[in-house]
Amino acid sequence: MEPILASQPPRPAAAVLLAAGLAGSLILACEVAATVATAASADRAYIPLVERPLPTPTPTPLPPDVRVDPACSDFQHGTREDPSGEYVCLRSYDQRSISLAGWRLEDAAHHRYVFPLFVLAPGEKVKVHSGQGQNTQTDLYTGSNLIWNNDGDTVFLYDALGRLITSYSY
């Protein structure tokens, strides 16, 4: 076995294992430096493993806590003449303000409403009405006819990336 001296330039790890006669040997390690320096004798090879600090994991942020507030919602009182009497109320239970821009609200039949630029403050609620109206900080309007079925439906709320945030069946 050819001795590899510390005075020689470091070699790639695979070349060191070949030179040390350890090719095909099982080496257990989580991470090994890209190059290693070794010393070898006729019957043993010493391969110092250099520990690298593992990256600090970035905590995954919790999804926003926005839910349908059934006590505030009215799924049955819109009419063809005035669909705005029908609305779903969304409330923030989060401690941070949440931008709803690009989020979408859907029913089981895939009628959808995409939120404009809108920020829901902590603890606040917004009513999303069917029909036409002037958007405010407390009321938004879908611009479409009746969405929610009087005899039952499911509300789905998706964030701007298409992840389901909440659903509510009535």
Q: Which of 55-59, 63-67, 81-85 has the lowest mean pLDDT?
A: 55-59
**Residue 31: which of 1, 63, 54 has the closest Cα?**
54
Question: Residue 36 above 50 pLDDT?
Answer: no
pLDDT at 30: 39
pLDDT at 58: 83
Dihedral (Cα; 114, 118, 120, 121), 10-degree rounding: 170
With a CB cutoff of 8 Å and minimum separation 6, the contacts of 108 are 149, 153, 154, 156
Write the DSSP assignment of 105-124 as a string of letters.
EE-TT--EEE--S-EE-TT-
Under DSSP, is residue 17 helix (H, G, I), strand (E, B) or coil? helix
pLDDT at 33: 42
Provide CATH code, domain 66-169.
Answer: 2.60.40.1260
**Residue 140: which of 155, 129, 124 has the closest Cα?**
129
pLDDT tens digit string along 37-46?
Answer: 445 555 666 6
pLDDT tens digit string along 139-165?
Answer: 999 998 888 998 999 999 999 999 999
pLDDT at 28: 46
Give span(s): CATH 2.60.40.1260, the chain: 66-169
